[in-house]
Amino acid sequence: MRPVEIKRDVYWVGALDWNIRDFHGYSTPKGTTYNAYLVIDEKITLFDTVKKPFKNDLIECISKIIDPKLIDYLVVNHVEMDHSGSVPDIVELVGPEKVVCSPMGKKALVDHYGRQDWPYHVVETGQSLKLGKKTVSFLETRMLHWPDSMMSYIAEDKLLLSSDGFGQHWATSQRFNDEVDVAELLGHAAKYYANILLLFSPLVQKLIAKVAELGIEIDMIAPDHGLIWRKDPGRIIQAYEKWSRQESSRKALVIYDTMWQATEKMACAIGEGLKEGGLDFKMFNLKFSHRSDIMTEVLDSRALVLGSATINNGMMPAMADLLSYMKGLRPVGKVGAAFGAYGWSGEAVKLISEAMRGIDINLVGEGVRVKFSPKKEDLNRCIELGRQVARAALDLDVSGLGASARS
């Protein structure tokens, strides 16, 4: 890729990864980008690098603007290896005057690369660095989503270099949000939030409040993954504000795994009950649906009804996987129930219910178990469970949790 000027004397110099399909268990069917940014000023400054296999792409992109050896400062906003993987190579090539990072960033860089001898320049929230005509100030964003994370802000351009905030895993030949379909873009951004930042929603709220408190004017947001928010950057800030409150819609998810379709028949009956009870629903068979796509739907769902056949005195492996993944992301403000078919022992429903309690999902009843294939009366019990879940979910409107989950 060629460099792209995003502001006067500020260039995108990153790399595109068209082929990555898994990012720590998060499916990336359309790849991703590793964005880095170069500022040409009295002190030429590179913000972040790229994943190590793409270091030559970064160097080639920079070389189309300047000799990389002319770079004075390297700013490391985030030490995760998809952004810092090329840092040792860049430091060796460039020999920068300063490697700028947060206090935790220095610790993480030393831990990762074992280099105490780099010219570290440690910055904290509110501190700034004069580049010449431009000045960059720093905002620590600890645990969004690593302890070292920070953002960089260039006041003269009203440009926020947002590290892993406001990004998407999506490789495109376009660089800006107004060059692509906005609905698809927001879908990728929602998936990114649901699978990476959901756990840290209270911190997102504090960050947005801090930006408002500091009076930072933002004309453009340039994240480390995906498209740059050139037009109406407030739209993604508003989306983050909504997602961080975990506002839910009148929607339920019925998620299941089945051996011989008995549990699937129960799932369909539960869906019928949910609809009768006034709740829209979506159905996900774990054999065909990836955990990260399901978590994207969880983001604004009011109710989760999880089902599994019993196997080896436990739940199906895909359901255990989903529950483990979901526990790490800690969605809040949900109601739910468990169901499943079994042959002779039937532990799955109990185990799913226990796992849901561990995620603070408010359970409706004890769930429904069916031996072998469900009969009419069993399906009627499933329909009734769907109705009960719908009533409990709609009651959240009265309690206030439906509109905005507790942080």
Query: Which sequence positions are flagged as catalytic?
Result: 24, 78, 80, 82, 145, 164, 192, 225
Residues 6+ apart with CB under 8 A from 224: 34, 35, 36, 48, 77, 78, 82, 83, 162, 163, 164, 167
Neighbours of 12 (CB within 10 A): 20
Neighbours of 373 (CB within 10 A): 12
CA distance 141 to 68: 29
- Joined together, the tokens standing for residue 131 give 């580049």
- Joined together, the tokens standing for residue 211 give 């930006």
DSSP letter for each residue of 35-48: --EEE-SSS-EEE-
DSSP state of 196: I
Give residue for tokens 């178990």. 369
Type of residue found at 67: D
Neighbours of 147 (CB within 10 A): 16
b/e 194-211 (16+ beta carbons within 10 angstroms → b): bbbbbebbebbebbeeeb
Are the C-beta atoms of residues 164 and 9 closer than 8 Å to each other?
Answer: no
Measured in whole angstroms, how far is the alpha carbon of residue 45 from the centre of its chain? Answer: 28
